Structure 1
Amino acid sequence: MKKLSCLKENIFILALILIIIPGNIIAQVKTEFLLEDRIVFDDYIEYIKPWKSNSKDLIMEKTALFFLGKPYVAHTLDQNVVEQLTVNFREFDCFTFVETVIALSMTALEEEPTIEAYADNLKSIRYRDKVILGYHSRLHYTIDWIYENSKNGIMKDITSEIGGVKDNKIINFMSEHRTSYNQLTDDDTTLNEIIKVETKINDRGGFYYLPKDKIAKSDSLIPHMSVVGFTTSLEGLDVTHVSFAFRKDRELKFIHASSVLNEIVIDKQLLSNYCNSRSSCTGIIIAKVL
């Protein structure tokens, strides 16, 4: 679940048109871009040109490496009163880093790679049905994010194919901990929408994860630059951190926005060791970007 992902890699972590519908306000907000973000985007487009004819995995790798050293900042998507698309190339939490790399890689392959095209790709990854209808329309839980992006042909969950097992735990962390979310604390309507989302997730009948004791044995089956979600034993929650699998010197590591090191890094630990060193980490989910 994205809002709890990245918080110290443990747990705990204007409107142009307003359309009022029963019990809620939906904003259709034009995306604005800061000059600093436009500059970074233009720099990236120049940087990625030499690799545009290469494989998708290499483009994603080079895109991720472009942001090495950028600062980790939590809650970058929760600064606005009204839900709107946030474009930020200057600072990241673990999930916005993953989303940014995927959306930029998609944009780099377009005939006209504009920042507006990037924003459209980002919206298609971050929001259910590619539409912003309020806080609840953002894909908060990682397994829901993978499910929706798999439907849209952006990625594929391959966890079961490489030895994953079923987890039937009930997902309800957000509704059970509403006071941890500013948008839910005093808003019963939005809370009810989140409960509906959780119900749909649970109706799918669980999710697959690769147990921590199997990661090292299966690491050759985990694709370079696939999305890795670290599953958790915390009740009601699916994932606490996300990253990209990263093969370096024949070892399977991972590149991520680290709240421990406060920047984007290729972690020194093997992916399997990272999970094994955390008592709450039960394993991983793997999604290949298509």
Structure 2
Amino acid sequence: MLAMRAAAGAVSKGDLIGLLSRQFLGTPYGADMLVGSATQPEQLVVDFRRVDCFTYLDYVEALSKSATRDQFVANVIATRYVDGQVAFPQRRHFFSDWSQTDAAPARDITAGLGAGTVTVAKQLNAKADGGQFLPGLPVVDRDITYIPSDAVSSDVIGNLRTGDFIGAYTDIAGLDVTHVGIFVATPDGPVFRNASSLAANNKVVDSSFVDYVHTTPGIVVLRAQ
């Protein structure tokens, strides 16, 4: 993959993400690939044999910035962890964490993609019953802007670029999205490239973007820096 990246030459960041992400098609899905918690030391995991939806994005983003194996590992760390510290509290656990610091991998472009966006005040990590999704981590107050699925028009899709990171917005208290993937424009129409846990897939697949969007409450869109 590093050789492929080098051979790609002067292409856009989005096209590079599209090229590299395609190499993972068919890779088996693996749930909860990362190791670490408030009570278990964090381990740096780099495993191409199986990916979940977040580690898939980690690897593709890191590969797009790397010329050597050592650079790739360093870029996985920089992508996955705030300030490059391999520690559970520093991990970017939520999709919106990818756009929250100066050195974050991406920026949130959702609000500028078209009319009809909705902004919701969320308390990330706080379950509706008072518990936490990630024990030992704080609750974070954050406004999440998303485009409702019925507002994802042809104009909105026309403003998306290959390589944009797509999060499936959720109404569940304490979460921003429930799944993530990559937007790719193809000759046969736009696809949602993702590590799918669905029994019919259980691997990295290209799904119809339009069809997928209509199975979700809406989308959050980040663009790689």
Shorter-normalised TM range: 0.7 to 0.9
Unmatched segments (≥5 aa) in structure 2: none
What pairs up with 1:27-176 in 2 under 5 angstroms?
A: 44-78=1-35, 81-107=40-66, 113-132=67-86, 134-148=87-101, 151-152=102-103, 154-163=105-114, 164-173=117-126, 176=130
Q: Deviations over 1:224-282 (max 9, x none)?
A: 11000000111221100000001112522211111111111111x2x2321323xxx32
1:64-107 C-alpha deviation (Å, 9 max, x unpaired): 01111111101110279420221112210001001110100110
User: Partners of 1:153 and 1:83 in 2: how far apart?
Assistant: 20
Q: Structure 1 stretches of 5 or more lacking a match?
A: 1-43, 108-112, 185-190
- More helix per residue: 1 or 2? 1
**Higher percent of residues as strand:** 2
- Partner Cα distance (1:70, 1:117) in 2: 23
Higher mean C-alpha deviation, range 120-129 or range 139-148: 139-148
Equivalent residues in 2 for 1:107-256, closer than 5 Å: 107=66, 113-132=67-86, 134-148=87-101, 151-152=102-103, 154-163=105-114, 164-173=117-126, 176-178=130-132, 184=135, 191=136, 194-195=137-138, 198-199=139-140, 202=141, 204=142, 206-217=143-154, 218-249=156-187, 251-256=189-194
Q: TM (normalized to structure 2)?
A: 0.87
Tell me which moved more, 248-257 or 87-96.
Answer: 248-257
CA distance in 2, matches of 1:142, 1:56: 19
Larger radius of gyration: 1
1:255 aligned partner, one-letter code: R
Cα RMSD for the two superposed structures: 2.1
CA distance in 2, matches of 1:262, 1:139: 24
Q: How many residues align?
A: 217
1:57 is aligned with what amino acid?
G
Residue 264 of structure 1: aligned partner: 204
